[in-house]
Structure 1
Amino acid sequence: MAAAIVLSAAAPTQGTWSVRELASWCRGLMAHLDNRAPIETFEPVKGGMCIGVMNGTLVSLNVWARELYCLPPGVSNEQAARIFIRYADQHPEVLHEEYPKHLFIALGAAFVCRDGQSR
């Protein structure tokens, strides 16, 4: 059941943002949080979209897919965003694709299950 929910969330829908778009919004938010960009360049709506996507994904994984993902307690939205940005930077071939599947892949790769943990 949980696998079906996670996979259906990754299914493409019209209007879903690309990996490039979401990574760009998250990158802008991280630059703001790290004080690497002037306040005038910060786009709060796009930063909010980044954090909203990360929060929704982490909550969904913790509620519906615990046996598929080995997220440690306390993973923050900011940490998830940084993981996604790193994934996007390492996989330029997927930048044009819709983000959901790739966010799940990035988080799964970052939090590999250890022996004895479920996945």
Structure 2
Amino acid sequence: MKAGGQTSSGGKGGGSGLTPNISSLLCYVCAPITSVIFLLIEKENKDVKFHAWQGTLFGVAIILLNIVLNILGLMLGSLADFLGALILSFLIPVIWLIVVVLWIVCLVKAYQGEQWKIPVIGDMAAKKAGV
């Protein structure tokens, strides 16, 4: 058991032939594509399965967030609501900065062998991975 109640099963990676920390890191590199690949090939290592599920959910959440922000931008742009557009123009970069920071933390923690959970998404990933 790692600090903060996080577990690591260690050992060799399953179907990929890579070490678990490399497999876990790769789950986030081009999420959700790489994470889905690891969901298909990894059957044994619970750490890799956790990161594959979390990477998949995180990648899908990023895609959905992008769609929502684009729709909001179009709506505010077409309504010519100056204040709304101004607020959104400051809010969108902050949101993407948070996403990038979360992504970097996931990469680092996965490489370190930790099962760091993104709020909300992490619990769903742990349940799906059986950890």
What TM-score comes out, normalization by structure 2 length? 0.28
Bigger relative contact order (CA 8 A; separation at least 6): 1
Between structure 1 and structure 2, the one with the greater Rg is 2
TM-score (norm 1): 0.30
